[in-house]
Homo-oligomer: A and B are copies of this chain.
Amino acid sequence: MSSAPEPTLRPLLRRLSYWGKFDAADEQALLNLPHRTKNIERHGYIVRERERAIHSCLILSGFAIRHKIVVDGARQILAVQMKGEMVDLQNSFLGVADHSVQMITEGEIAFIPRDEVRKLAFAHPNIGMAMWFDTLVDASIFREWIANVGRRNAHTRLAHLLCEFALRLKVAGLGEETEYELPMSQEQLADCTGLTSVHVNRTLKALEAEGLIQRRSSRSVTIGDWKKLARAGDFDSNYLHLHEDEAALA
């Protein structure tokens, strides 16, 4: 009884299966995508803004961020990406990268040639639609972040971000219902929310004082009362376009 080796691209299949139904041929074609994998250390770049991107990169482990640097050197984080997510469909299909993608933990990345992805998408419409869907959900999250950063105060903004992480980590199978390990420093949280790290610190402590979250080690977040935190964060999971049974916690 020889067990077949676990296919490297399984996490991608898991992720895309969330958005659509595939038949056996679809699955085989997906898992057989040519690729090479590479370990990238913490803070290593996957793509840099203005570079020509020709691979679609899949996160097999670890966390990455998308970010841009504005004129005075300030950084804005645009998204946090986790296992199973394709971080460079966007840049590679568009040609020249309009933002950078960087690891915030050490992790393993699969590099898939862009043209293979494109061929697969049109040869297998089920997969193509799921991939398109996936990029549309990314766009939906970007929209929510515009509103978060543009129109919510620091308190609400941070609570919202913590809710988003809780739910996305749960769906990705990476976190508990009400407790998770946040892979980010307070400075990185600040760059997600358009705040300063000093104010993130103040605000996090306020959230803790109100009993909305607890923090054991500096990175672990425990959500005391999901409903209350969601209310404080003006959080409505609709924009994540999850299946109904996963759209809420607890």
Instruction: Report whether B93 and A133 are in contact in the complex, using a CB–CB cutoff of 8 Å.
Output: yes
Task: State the oligomeric state as a number of copies.
Answer: 2
Tell whether, in the assembled complex, residue A94 and residue B137 are in contact, meaning their CB atoms are under 8 Å apart: yes
Find A139's partner among B71, B142, B193 (CB 8 Å cutoff).
B142
Contact (Cβ within 8 A) A78 B241 = no
Partner among B96, B142, B238 whose Cβ is within 8 Å of the Cβ of A146: B142
Option from B99, B139, B193, B241 in Cβ contact (under 8 Å) with A135: B139
Could you tell me the dominant secondary structure of chain A's interface residues?
helix
**CB of A83 within 8 A of chain B?**
no
Does A198 touch B at the CB level, under 8 Å?
no
Instruction: Check A135 against B133 for contact (C-beta < 8 Å).
Output: no
State whether A150 touches B98 (Cβ < 8 A): no
With a cutoff of 8 Å between Cβ atoms, the chain B residues found around residue A93 in the complex are 132-133, 136
A216 contacts partner chain B, Cβ-Cβ < 8 Å: no
Q: How far apart are the CA atoms of A128 and B95 in the complex, in Å?
A: 17
Which of B89, B98, B152 is the one whose CB lies under 8 Å from A241? B98
- Interface residue A25 (Cβ < 8 Å from any Cβ of B): no
Q: How far is the CB of A98 from chain B (nearest CB, A)?
A: 4
**Known contacts being A94-B140, A98-B140, A241-B94, is A68 close to B135, with CB within 8 Å?**
no
**Known A70-B151, A99-B143; further 5 A-B contacts with Cβ < 8 A:** A74-B151, A75-B151, A94-B133, A98-B241, A150-B194
